[in-house]
Amino acid sequence: MGSLSSPPPGVPDAAIQWGDIGTWVGAIGTVLAVVVALSLTLRQRRLERVNEEQKQAAKIAAWLDVDVIVGRPEVRLLVRNSSDASISLFRAHIRDRTQPSAPPTTIEINGVPPTGVPLVRATGLRLPPHTEDLVYWVDAIEFRDFRFRRWELGQKGLRQLKKAENT
């Protein structure tokens, strides 16, 4: 039995090619470089996809207006989807300036097509008598995009909801 530094029995010392170690190190370095390049490419593609999804989600808008229906002013919700795809499970959370601590009124719409034309929904909210000012505002909206990701646009800006928030 030989020591670790000597070749196995029957193999002459000249058979060990120390130059092969450099080849192995170079090959391992090449493989690592390919792995790093692939991971950076995949990360860049994921970031580009997320940026595109955020751009599409930012094309959803909701606001309120007042229309006179049967002689009484009624607050209407208008929702516009200027993105490239339909959205679903849309919710608008509407608050009342005269009752800031009251829970919001939530209006739900199953689907909003990508037409760019506002979709109008009655809210059932009425203006107080002798008031011309709109006392309600859309505090936040939530919706699901075509990839089933949930988004919220509110006081924190546009953000994708995490799985735990995704209800």
Task: Please give the pLDDT value at position 104.
Answer: 93
Judgement on whether residues 131 and 148 belong to the same structural domain of the protein = yes
Judgement on whether residues 69 and 91 belong to the same structural domain of the protein = yes
CATH of the domain at 145: 2.60.40
In a domain, 137, yes or no: yes
Q: Which amino acid is at 121?
A: R
Q: Specify whether the CB–CB gap between 60 and 153 falls below 8 A.
A: yes
Please give the tally of structural domains in the chain: 2
In a domain, 130, yes or no: yes
Judgement on whether residues 32 and 70 belong to the same structural domain of the protein = no
Judgement on whether residues 27 and 79 belong to the same structural domain of the protein = no
Task: Please give the pLDDT value at position 57.
Answer: 87
- What is the average per-residue pLDDT within 32-52? 89
User: Where would I find the beta strands (DSSP E) of the chain?
Assistant: 60-69, 72-81, 87-96, 105-112, 119-126, 136-144, 150-154, 157-160
In a domain, 8, yes or no: no
Cα–Cα distance list, 42 to 27, 37, 45, 48, 152 (Å): 23, 9, 5, 10, 26
Give tens-digit pLDDT for 100-147: 899 999 999 999 999 989 989 988 887 776 666 778 899 999 999 988
- What is the average per-residue pLDDT within 55-77? 86
Judgement on whether residues 145 and 81 belong to the same structural domain of the protein = yes
Judgement on whether residues 67 and 50 belong to the same structural domain of the protein = no
- What is the average per-residue pLDDT within 18-37? 85
- What is the average per-residue pLDDT within 41-70? 86
In a domain, 66, yes or no: yes
Give tens-digit pLDDT for 7-16: 667 666 555 5
Judgement on whether residues 49 and 70 belong to the same structural domain of the protein = no
Judgement on whether residues 48 and 91 belong to the same structural domain of the protein = no
* DSSP helix/strand/coil, 161: coil
In this structure, the strands spanning 136-144 and 119-126 are unpaired
Q: 26 is in which domain, residue-wise?
A: 16-55
Question: What rounded mean pLDDT belongs to the chain?
Answer: 84
Judgement on whether residues 51 and 131 belong to the same structural domain of the protein = no
* DSSP helix/strand/coil, 19: helix
* Distance of alpha carbon 96 from alpha carbon 136, whole angstroms: 5
Judgement on whether residues 31 and 91 belong to the same structural domain of the protein = no
In a domain, 83, yes or no: yes
Judgement on whether residues 82 and 114 belong to the same structural domain of the protein = yes
Q: Is residue 78 over pLDDT 60?
A: yes
In a domain, 1, yes or no: no
Q: Is residue 166 over pLDDT 80?
A: no
Over pLDDT 70: what percentage of the chain?
83
In a domain, 9, yes or no: no
Q: Is residue 2 over pLDDT 60?
A: no
In a domain, 6, yes or no: no
Task: Please give the pLDDT value at position 132.
Answer: 67
Task: Please give the pLDDT value at position 165.
Answer: 62
pLDDT band at 153 (very low <50, low <70, confident <90, very high): very high
